[in-house]
Amino acid sequence: MLISILSWLLALSFLLAVLGIACLVLATLWIAAKAQRLVPPVGKFVEIDGSRIHYVDVGEGRPIVFIHGLGAQLHHFRHTLFGQFAPGYRLIALDRPGSGYSTRANGATGRLPEQAALVRRFIEKLRLERPLVVGHSLGGAVTLTLAVEHPEVIAGIALLAPLTHLEPGMREKTGLLNIPSRLWRRVMAYTVAIPLSLRYARPTMEFIFAPQAFPVDYMVDGGGWLGLRPVHFQATSADVVAIEQDLGRIEQRYGEIAMPAGILFGTADRVIDIRIHGEPMRGKIKGLDFEPVDGLGHMPQFVEPKRVIGFIERVAGRAFPSPQPHDNFNEPTG
């Protein structure tokens, strides 16, 4: 009798567990479908080494390529900056592989040299002539890797609140995103990760934007909903795991960077500390344009777009050669 009761309880527990997992999977798929409905693709696609890259490309003139940070997407620049630049620039923002609507090639790891090499191939595919590259947060680390390993394809770098150094406790700081196992990462992505991310979306965004307010239009116009999809979670987790494999080596080579470079960093950034990732860069890149902004947090492009554009255009003024007079130009005569 006791064995029968135990068997029944075990069967019931198993059934409830299966139902619970099924509910989580269905909730995940529903949230992902809603995200794609609210924030559909807005740009073009290009195939690069097995990855399908989604990007926006507007304007004409000197090219500027924008690389977003961890868990973000191209709307971090398209929504905040693109409509406010002066004429004379071609502005291109891409979703990094696995983020937004870009897919990551089978076997890709998300390591910094891999992502930098893909950006190089992207630049070559679009036939951009030595663009200025703007990188935010983790995108700053990708941009620095590009400047170190592929300096010949770019004219300069402009970094916004960049990740520049390995620091103690980085694994603990990234929390549940640090999942080394691909299988476990996938399991988490399709069960608990997305419902939990939705549940804590507001406090998470409030922390990231602090001390400034979380913009009311961020989830749709800023693309925030796109982070609430399993593929995006898997790519973000892979990026977190990959950081420590290369960043320590890359940071030893910052002194090799000879191109025009600038860093804009908020002194109140709670995500990436200016004392660890900003101030030490002053002595590592010759001629660095370093702009600390008192009281600013981690998302300057949302909070201070005009300041950010002024900073980017200032670096661009050093990166791009001045227009030369036409060879056949003649002074008017009276």
Model confidence, pTM: 0.91
Q: For residue 271, give both structure tokens.
A: 């995500």
**Rounded Cα distance, 287 and 165, in Å:** 20
Three-state SS at 267: coil
Distance of CA 147 to the CA centre of its chain: 17
pLDDT at position 321, please?
A: 81
Single-letter amino acid, residue 208: I
Closest CA to 66 of 21, 115, 117, 119: 119
pLDDT at position 177, please?
A: 86
Single-letter amino acid, residue 300: P
CB of 134 closer than 8 Å to CB of 115: no
pLDDT at position 261, please?
A: 98
pLDDT at position 22, please?
A: 79
261 phi, psi to nearest 5 deg:
-145, 145
Mean pLDDT by 10 residues, the chain (334 residues): 65 63 85 94 95 97 97 96 94 96 92 97 96 98 98 98 88 77 89 89 93 94 94 93 93 96 97 95 94 97 97 96 51 39
pLDDT at position 325, please?
A: 44
Q: For residue 85, give both structure tokens.
A: 């630049």
pLDDT at position 284, please?
A: 94
pLDDT at position 18, please?
A: 64
Q: Is the dihedral of CA 139, 141, 142, 143 positive or negative?
A: positive
| 61 bridge partner residues | 88
Please report which residue ranges of 229-331 form alpha helices under DSSP H. 230-251, 274-277, 300-303, 305-319
The full 3-state SS of 31-48, as one line of letters, equals HHHHHHHHCCCCCEEEEE
pLDDT at position 333, please?
A: 39
57 CB-contact burial (10 Å; exposed 0-12 / middle 13-18 / buried 19+): middle
